[in-house]
Every structure is written in structure tokens, then in C-alpha cells.
Amino acid sequence: MPHDAFLDFQPGLQSPALHLEPITPSDTADLARVTRALNVAGAGSVRVVTVTGQTGDIHVAAGIPFPIRVVRVLATGTTATGITGLS
């Protein structure tokens, strides 16, 4: 395993993501982890529930992380494809 010079640093919200999680949108199931950002393969709208409980639509461009802390990505209203949660 390569040496990690940052292993002893405390990660914060401005730090790079440590986890990548493929997301299957669901109207009923929360994510396993709260995200720091979303990334999509195919641009479109993503309907989300934020960590504060707000529901809303965001437009996400393909390949560009969108910084948002969400607990759920809803199937209804989501048109983006290939959604990945970064946390």
C-alpha cells in the first residue's frame, strides 16, 4: 500500500472525499452515508433530501462534483444518470 502523508490529518468538509458510493435513486430509502458532493455521468436534475430535511431539485453537470450534503436521492424527479455520492 502506498504511503499516505495525510493519514494522521482530521478530514473536514473541504477535504477530498474518502468514499465513493454508487447511488440508485429511491423515493423511500436513505443513503448509507451522508454525501459531501454528488457527481453524475449524465447531466440532469437530481431531486434530493438534504441533511437538514429540505427536498429540492438541483441540476448537476456531468463529471463535475456538486457540493451538497444529502441523505436521499429521490427517483421521482431525477433525470441525471450514473450518480455517485462522494463522502
Query: For residue 15, is it within any domain?
Result: no
Question: What pLDDT does residue 72 have?
Answer: 98
Question: What pLDDT does residue 11 have?
Answer: 79
- pTM, two decimals, is 0.90
CA pair distance 27, 73, nearest whole angstrom: 7
The total number of structural domains that make up the chain? 1
Question: What pLDDT does residue 79 have?
Answer: 98
Provide the domain limits for residue 65. 20-86
CA pair distance 50, 82, nearest whole angstrom: 19
Question: What pLDDT does residue 12 have?
Answer: 78
Tens-level pLDDT at each residue, the chain (87 residues): 898 887 887 877 788 899 999 999 999 999 999 999 999 999 999 999 999 999 999 999 999 999 999 999 999 999 999 999 999
Question: What pLDDT does residue 4 have?
Answer: 82
